[in-house]
């Protein structure tokens, strides 16, 4: 699988691999700084592709932090592969993620963060936001680059296709279609609205989307639009989609 890299913000690179049978991009994000930070590991099966992408930007053995949103093969599956090639690297995640998953899974102990905690990696300051079940998983959390106003939003706004690296226009309709076709992908809990409001209050300028195009523009507006999409879809019973991600794969 071929990997494409694009600088989406200062020192911030999107490392994208399109999976032809899944019909979706798997995007990792690298902040090249004194303590280089990689957001999501990618799966083990695409590790060589992602490694090639990182090495085209910097020496991957110098990675310091591997940001994990939640425990899932594309988000954290290749963590030990990264720890093997980068001796100073360490997973960084929520306390729940470390307690339930990474303390057991990771070949080196992860570093867990509390909600709102910040850490400096050089020029960039990152903030961790605890976001249980947003996008999904009890252990979920997101990272916000306060320096560049980039929100690494994991599976939020996921959409299909081998799409352009960055868009400044339509993202909410694509995200809505993904939720309609895959209604179990992103749960809407008693806390989701409050969490999305908190993310919107950060006023991100760039949304670094794990699956699909990243977004450049009024991040506050589109996050609130996403909440409105959830409210609309939750307000009436939804028909079971004829074809979701998994039925397409089985066909």
Binding site for Fe ion (CB under 5 A): 72, 74, 155, 210
- The least distance separating Fe ion from the CB of residue 145, rounded to whole angstroms, comes to 19
Taking the least distance from each CB to Fe ion, the nearer of 172 and 209 is 209
- The least distance separating Fe ion from the CB of residue 73, rounded to whole angstroms, comes to 9
**217: DSSP letter:** S
- The least distance separating Fe ion from the CB of residue 25, rounded to whole angstroms, comes to 10
- The least distance separating Fe ion from the CB of residue 34, rounded to whole angstroms, comes to 28
Cα separations (Å) of 194 from 25, 146, 189, 191, 199? 29, 20, 10, 5, 9
Taking the least distance from each CB to Fe ion, the nearer of 72 and 139 is 72
CA gap 3, 49 in Å, rounded: 6
- The least distance separating Fe ion from the CB of residue 46, rounded to whole angstroms, comes to 12
Cα separations (Å) of 121 from 1, 34, 137, 246, 248? 31, 6, 27, 38, 41
- The least distance separating Fe ion from the CB of residue 66, rounded to whole angstroms, comes to 15
Contact (Cβ atoms closer than 8 angstroms) between residue 204 and residue 221? no
Taking the least distance from each CB to Fe ion, the nearer of 139 and 155 is 155
Taking the least distance from each CB to Fe ion, the nearer of 69 and 147 is 69
- The least distance separating Fe ion from the CB of residue 2, rounded to whole angstroms, comes to 19
Taking the least distance from each CB to Fe ion, the nearer of 87 and 246 is 246
Nearest to 222 by CA among 237, 232, 238, 207: 207
Burial of 195: CB neighbours in 10 Å, binned 0-12, 13-18, 19+: buried
Cα separations (Å) of 16 from 29, 88, 142, 148, 230? 9, 24, 19, 20, 27
Taking the least distance from each CB to Fe ion, the nearer of 33 and 96 is 96
Taking the least distance from each CB to Fe ion, the nearer of 136 and 147 is 136
């Amino acid at each position: 699988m071929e990997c494409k890299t694009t600088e989406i913000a200062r020192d911030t690179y999107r490392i994208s691999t399109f999976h032809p049978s899944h019909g979706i991009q798997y995007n990792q994000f690298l902040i090249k700084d004194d303590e280089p930070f990689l957001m999501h590991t990618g799966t083990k099966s695409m590790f060589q592709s992602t490694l090639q992408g990182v090495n085209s930007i910097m020496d991957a053995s110098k990675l310091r932090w591997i940001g994990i949103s939640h425990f899932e093969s594309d988000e954290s599956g290749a963590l030990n592969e990264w720890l093997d090639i980068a001796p100073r690297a360490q997973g960084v995640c929520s306390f729940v993620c470390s307690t339930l998953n990474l303390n057991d899974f990771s070949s080196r102990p992860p570093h867990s963060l509390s909600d709102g905690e910040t850490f400096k990696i050089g020029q960039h300051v990152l903030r961790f936001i605890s976001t249980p079940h947003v996008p999904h998983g009890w252990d979920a959390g997101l990272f916000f680059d306060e320096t560049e106003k980039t929100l690494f939003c994991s599976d939020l706004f996921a959409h299909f296709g081998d799409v352009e690296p960055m868009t400044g226009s339509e993202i909410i309709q694509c995200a809505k279609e993904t939720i309609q076709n895959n209604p179990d992908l992103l749960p809407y809990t008693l806390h989701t609205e409050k969490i999305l409001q908190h993310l919107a209050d950060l006023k991100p300028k760039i949304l670094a989307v794990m699956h699909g195009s990243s977004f450049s523009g009024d991040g506050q507006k589109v996050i609130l639009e996403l909440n409105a999409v959830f409210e609309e879809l939750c307000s009436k019973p939804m028909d079971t989609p004829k074809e979701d991600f998994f039925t397409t794969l089985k066909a």
